[in-house]
Chains A and B, each alone.
Chain A
């Protein structure tokens, strides 16, 4: 096999350079976006708007974690609130029991859901897609029931307050609870999550997991273990969900079993899909849009469910690839017409 033609070699080289140029671009873009977040509280004066935006961003992180699972594993979690709520409850329980410093609790609240997802994943990622979904739901609902019944420690359906020290990571705790500063914190977290997941998706690991999603059997016959990478994706996704839960607990200083309920998982899933999980940033966009629309509709009429539902139907029928799919298509069209213009 030594007959490679020189012309081919040039093509080969050009392609590999293009691939390498991307990493710094992602980091740079993320930096700029994060910086832009700092300006927002100055521009947006209203506390009301800021608190809504903060909540929207926290939901966006949760939606991103679900979307990442869909994209890399082809599996849909119906119970992602489990990780969100698990993290929030870990923060709350630690506040009550004083088991470890709050900083450590934050890390644990991200690591524990991840570890849990990893080991559960080793068993359940092999299942048919819908069965996987139902099992995630089962896990989340069991946790929900547990917290609902655990009156002694977790306050049952009345929920529990999250007691926090006055400083966290050297930052005044008030800042995590004031909308203007918490918005910046959550925003930076969201940008960082998207940047990291983008890099992961472009890495060898990212391609491998997509390959496994596409054809698990063949991945084994080209020499890969297929279980561990899929469980790792699940774990990574759970960690991101846990991060959202941590931010939620910090901001609200209160958790209830609702943080584990399937309606939260469902809502986050809706956000992810209308955003379009094929792009890493799609679900976050979907989350913000969904959150804002739902809020606005809720203000206007008590028939908001019907309006949201109808919009959901129309949007998905018209844009099955989600909003990010639409934007990508427009982008491609644009580029093609520019190229055509040049030629």
Chain B
């Protein structure tokens, strides 16, 4: 068996008596795109936090390319090749778009700033202050900060939120591209089911801090529990 790109074992996080994450385990193969869905407050963002070393103390182990990184700081994890984007836009408001993407690139082996700017359609905004671009554009900038420098594993928290339909389609295609051409592994949280179903190799469903189901898109779509707790009736 090849080494896993990323593995979380028994990840747990509590806020007071409430378990936002309760012994969740997750195994990502290299080059895989894994969809992560679940109701609001299921613990998806918390799971990403646990994987990348954000927030309070977490129980469990994170293994990255065969190496236990549980004790590493967030910046060390990023330098090892584990990057993430944020659900709540997290950018450098006073810096130019290009400036900040280039800054993020400096930390990694390859500088693909321009490639990323072009791919995300940000080139025209490259010399604008990040504070002065629209919300959707800021969302894409946040994504660019994660993509640049060719990390080997990407944790993307609702990258399509706030994007117009066309942009979402471009994004979905881009993710597919990335996975196949760079062999990037992606853990993708999304509430936009079109994107999820279009790109995910497998899907994990979280509910109340635990894994509810895991499987291919067909299996997930057909799982009545998932439909009841999350998908609802309107997904065709």
Leading 6 A-B pairs by shortest Cβ distance = A223-B107, A223-B78, A222-B104, A214-B92, A12-B114, A223-B79
Assess whether B107 is in contact with A222, with CB atoms less than 8 Å apart. Answer: yes
A207 to B99, CA, bound (A): 8
In the complex where A11-B123, A12-B114, A222-B145 touch, is A211 in contact with B103 (Cβ < 8 A)? yes
Assess whether B116 is in contact with A1, with CB atoms less than 8 Å apart. Answer: yes
In the complex where A1-B174, A4-B115, A223-B104 touch, is A218 in contact with B90 (Cβ < 8 A)? yes
Judge whether B91 is part of the interface by a CB distance below 8 angstroms.
yes
Please report A residues at the B interface, Cβ cutoff 8 Å.
1-5, 8-9, 11-12, 15, 204, 207-208, 210-211, 213-215, 217-226
Assess whether B123 is in contact with A8, with CB atoms less than 8 Å apart. Answer: yes
* Chain B binding surface, main DSSP class: helix
Most B CB atoms within 10 A — which of A2, A5, A208, A218? A218
Residues of A within 8 A of B93 (CB): 214-215
Among candidates A204, A210, A217, residue contacting B94 with C-beta atoms closer than 8 Å: A210
B residues 115-150 with Cβ under 8 Å of A?
Answer: 115-116, 118-119, 123, 126-127, 145, 149
Residue of B nearest to A9 (CB): B114
A4 to B112, CA, bound (A): 11
Question: 15 pairs across A/B with beta carbons < 8 Å?
Answer: A1-B112, A1-B116, A1-B182, A5-B118, A9-B114, A204-B103, A207-B99, A211-B103, A215-B93, A218-B92, A221-B83, A221-B90, A222-B107, A222-B145, A223-B104
Among candidates A4, A208, A218, A224, residue contacting B114 with C-beta atoms closer than 8 Å: A4
A325 to B115, CA, bound (A): 35
Seed contacts A3-B118, A218-B92, A223-B149; 7 additional CB < 8 Å A-B pairs = A3-B119, A211-B103, A215-B91, A218-B145, A221-B145, A222-B104, A226-B75
A4 to B118, CA, bound (A): 6
Assess whether B178 is in contact with A1, with CB atoms less than 8 Å apart. Answer: yes
Assess whether A207 is in contact with B95, with CB atoms less than 8 Å apart. Answer: yes
Q: CB-CB contacts of B36-67 with A at 8 A, as 1s and 0s? A: 00000000000000001010000000000000
A12 to B90, CA, bound (A): 25
In the complex where A1-B174, A2-B181 touch, is A221 in contact with B95 (Cβ < 8 A)? no
Residues of A within 8 A of B91 (CB): 215, 218
Assess whether A221 is in contact with B78, with CB atoms less than 8 Å apart. Answer: yes
Residues of B within 8 A of A225 (CB): 75
Assess whether B52 is in contact with A221, with CB atoms less than 8 Å apart. Answer: yes
Residue of A nearest to B113 (CB): A12
Assess whether A215 is in contact with B90, with CB atoms less than 8 Å apart. Answer: yes
In the complex where A1-B119, A215-B90, A218-B90 touch, is A223 in contact with B75 (Cβ < 8 A)? yes
B207, chain A: closest CB distance, angstroms: 27
Assess whether A222 is in contact with B78, with CB atoms less than 8 Å apart. Answer: yes
Residue of B nearest to A211 (CB): B92
Assess whether A211 is in contact with B100, with CB atoms less than 8 Å apart. Answer: yes
Assess whether B90 is in contact with A15, with CB atoms less than 8 Å apart. Answer: no
Assess whether A223 is in contact with B73, with CB atoms less than 8 Å apart. Answer: no
Q: CB-CB contacts of B66-109 with A at 8 A, as 1s and 0s? A: 00000001110011000110100011111100111001101110
Residues of B within 8 A of A215 (CB): 90-93
Q: CB-CB contacts of B154-180 with A at 8 A, as 1s and 0s? A: 000000000000000000001001100
A5 to B114, CA, bound (A): 11
A299 to B102, CA, bound (A): 53
A189, chain B: closest CB distance, angstroms: 30
Assess whether B118 is in contact with A8, with CB atoms less than 8 Å apart. Answer: yes
Among candidates B115, B126, B149, residue contacting A15 with C-beta atoms closer than 8 Å: B126
Most B CB atoms within 10 A — which of A207, A211, A221? A221
Residues of B within 8 A of A213 (CB): 94
Assess whether B90 is in contact with A217, with CB atoms less than 8 Å apart. Answer: yes
Residues of A within 8 A of B181 (CB): 1-2
Residues of A within 8 A of B78 (CB): 220-223
A222 to B116, CA, bound (A): 15
Residues of B within 8 A of A207 (CB): 95, 99, 103
B44, chain A: closest CB distance, angstroms: 17
A217, chain B: closest CB distance, angstroms: 7
A312, chain B: closest CB distance, angstroms: 26
A300, chain B: closest CB distance, angstroms: 41
Residue of B nearest to A214 (CB): B92
Residues of A within 8 A of B100 (CB): 211
Residues of A within 8 A of B177 (CB): 1
In the complex where A2-B181, A15-B126 touch, is A224 in contact with B107 (Cβ < 8 A)? yes
B191, chain A: closest CB distance, angstroms: 22
A3 to B177, CA, bound (A): 11
A225 to B78, CA, bound (A): 11
A293, chain B: closest CB distance, angstroms: 31
Residues of A within 8 A of B95 (CB): 207, 210-211, 214
Residue of B nearest to A4 (CB): B118
Residue of A nearest to B96 (CB): A207
A12 to B114, CA, bound (A): 7
Residues of A within 8 A of B123 (CB): 8, 11-12
